[in-house]
Amino acid sequence: MNSEKHSKLIKNIAKKIGFLSCRIAKAEFLEEEAPRLEKWLNQGMHGSMSYMERNFDKRLDPRKLVPGAKSVVSLSYNYYTKENQKDPKAPKISKYAFGKDYHFIIKEKLRKLLLEIKQNIGNVEGRVFVDSAPILERAWAKKSGLGWVGKNTNVITKEVGSYYFLAELIIDLDLYPDPPVTDHCGSCTACIDACPTEAIIEPYKLDGSKCISYLTIELKSEIPKDFSGKMDNWMFGCDICQDVCPWNRFSKPHLEPAFNANNQILNMGKKEWEELTKETFNKVFKNSAIKRTKYDGLVRNISFLKEKVKS
């Protein structure tokens, strides 16, 4: 009885803090994911993301990340915005990077959630995660019923689409697990048809080494010439497979002030981007997720897009 009561309490606290959704799964070994992850890695679809090869066991078993773990609380946080960059010819940035870096914002909210759980329930131990540890976020979101993994490999929720960040709280508290939801992609192939680099090689399977987000953020070496003319003018991340997803017609603008678009970013024109200095980069992207690609990486991306225009 306590597990149901505690589960309801945690969901109420999460909602009060501002999370879009909160669902729960039992902390156990991800049997279905193990062979899938191993095959994906063996096929080299992680590209140069060598960190994906490390901590294989921890990625599949949360109890190895948090000793004594009993529950994985999966949460989503909305970042959708109707705002766009003012210059339609400017190199494009993914919506999630318009505002402040989500890692710090959401981690702070997760810490608040854990603190309130302790204040209301007692001695509960756990760890918070936001895209920064060996944890298969989408697998836990799916297992907990937060959404289903779509053909574009993003987690999708019927009511709100997919423009949200995923986060987890792994704790040593026995909670009442939620059932998974069914897949609602149906016969739709909009995301597969729209991907300019053909990164979605088949439904539900993404070749990460071909993804524009990987090429513009994770890849540290030169972008292969094979992708010339296929980047659709994206310089940081990519929203194509989400923009075309029919379920995102249900997306509603976020209510998080920290994610409000930085007007300096939205107002920069094509020429300003092409003439970007390190000083401007450090100033404009001081609190932005874009700083992850570093100045040299962003300049590389912009130059690659310019070469395509010239050819």
What amino acid is encoded at 213 in this protein?
A: S
For the chain, the three-class secondary structure string (H helix, E strand, C coil) is: CHHHHHHHHHHHHHHHHCCCEEEEEECCCCCCHHHHHHHHHHCCCCCCCHHHHCCHHHHHCHHHCCCCCCEEEEEEEECCCCCCCCCCCCCEECHHHCCCCHHHHHHHHHHHHHHHHHHHHCCCCEEEECCCCCCCHHHHHHHCCCCEECCCCCEEECCCECCEEEEEEEECCCCCCCCCCCCCCCCCCHHHHHCCCCCEEECCEECHHHCHHHHHHHCCCCCCHHHCCCCCCEEECCCHHHHCCHHHHHCCCCCCHHHCCCHHHHHCCHHHHHCCCHHHHHHHCCCCHHHHHHHHHHHHHHHHHHHHHHC
174 is an active site residue: no
Instruction: Give the C-alpha separation, 210 to 105, whole Å.
Output: 29
Q: CB neighbours (10 Å) of residue 244? A: 17
Q: Which phi and psi angles does 25 have, rounded to 5°?
A: -135, 155
Please identify which of the residues 87, 131, 174, 183 carries the catalytic annotation: 131
Active-site positions read: 131
